[in-house]
């Protein structure tokens, strides 16, 4: 089973004029994400630094806090953030670190929703038949959440992603919780 292709979710450029120690990104789907923190010199550095110092780098990238620029033949030309993320940073002005994040809030919300449904069905004697299905779904989601947690602990992010996609495709339990994939029925018994 193939995991989804890599996509650039969001970009936040900040000139660090204020002391901020956290940033917020909007994420609407569960899964494996990487956050790259890229540090580039600003325009002041580019305009005031000595040529000897600038020649130390093969390629110069700078930012004005709104756009990212690359020096080509002595002039600055706008470039994409994607280029900076994908290229080898050796010999450039790019400094970066990467943090791996596995987001499961949608699945957790789904788990809570099933717990509430079980509680409601206990009070509603007309829905006794539904009770066992709800219990099964809740257990399955709980097991999946824990297994993903273990895999993330082992730093096996892609395997955790595979488990999550497998669950989303075959289970069909959490369609209303930020999961856009269709239920294609993988021979599941329920």
Partner 1 sequence: MVARDELKGKAIQEYDKLLRELRKGKQPKYDFLMTLISYIGLPVLIDNRDFVEQKLLNYHDTIYIRRG
Select the residue interacting with partner 1 from 37, 82, 96, 190 (CB under 8 A).
190
Select the residue interacting with partner 1 from 53, 77, 97, 187 (CB under 8 A).
187
CB-neighbour burial class of residue 2 (10 A; exposed 0-12, middle 13-18, buried 19+): exposed
Residues in the chain: 190
The stretch among 8-16, 44-52, 90-98, 141-149 that binds partner 1 (CB under 8 A) is 141-149
Q: 40 in helix, strand or coil?
A: coil
Taking the complex as a whole, the smallest distance from the CB of residue 136 to partner 1 amounts, in Å, to 9
Q: 150 in helix, strand or coil?
A: helix
Q: Is 81 or 118 the residue whose CB approaches partner 1 more closely?
A: 118
Reading the block at residue 130, the tokens are: 């539904």
Pairing relationship of beta strands 95-103 and 31-39 according to DSSP bridges: antiparallel
166 is an interface residue for partner 1 by CB under 8 A: yes
Phi-psi region of 17 (alpha: psi -120 to 50; beta: other; left: phi over 0): alpha
Taking the complex as a whole, the smallest distance from the CB of residue 46 to partner 1 amounts, in Å, to 49
* Site for partner 1, rule CB under 8 A: 139-140, 142-144, 146-147, 150-151, 153-154, 163, 166, 170, 186-190
């Amino acid at each position: 089973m193939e995991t989804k292709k890599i996509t650039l979710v969001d970009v936040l450029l900040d000139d660090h004029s204020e002391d901020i120690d956290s940033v917020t990104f909007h994420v609407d789907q569960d899964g494996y994400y990487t956050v790259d923190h890229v540090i580039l010199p600003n325009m002041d550095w580019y305009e005031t630094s000595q040529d000897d110092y600038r020649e130390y780098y093969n390629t110069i990238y700078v930012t004005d806090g709104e756009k990212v620029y690359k020096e080509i033949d002595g002039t600055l030309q706008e470039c994409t953030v994607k280029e900076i993320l994908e290229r080898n940073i050796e010999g450039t002005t790019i400094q970066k670190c990467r943090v791996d994040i596995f987001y499961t809030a949608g699945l957790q919300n789904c788990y809570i929703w099933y717990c509430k449904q079980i509680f409601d069905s206990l009070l509603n004697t007309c829905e006794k038949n539904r009770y066992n299905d709800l219990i099964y779904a809740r257990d399955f989601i709980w097991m999946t959440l824990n297994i993903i947690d273990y895999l993330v602990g082992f730093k096996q992010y892609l395997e955790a992603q595979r488990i999550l996609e497998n669950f989303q495709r075959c289970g069909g339990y959490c369609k209303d919780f930020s999961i856009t994939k269709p239920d294609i029925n993988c021979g599941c018994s329920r």
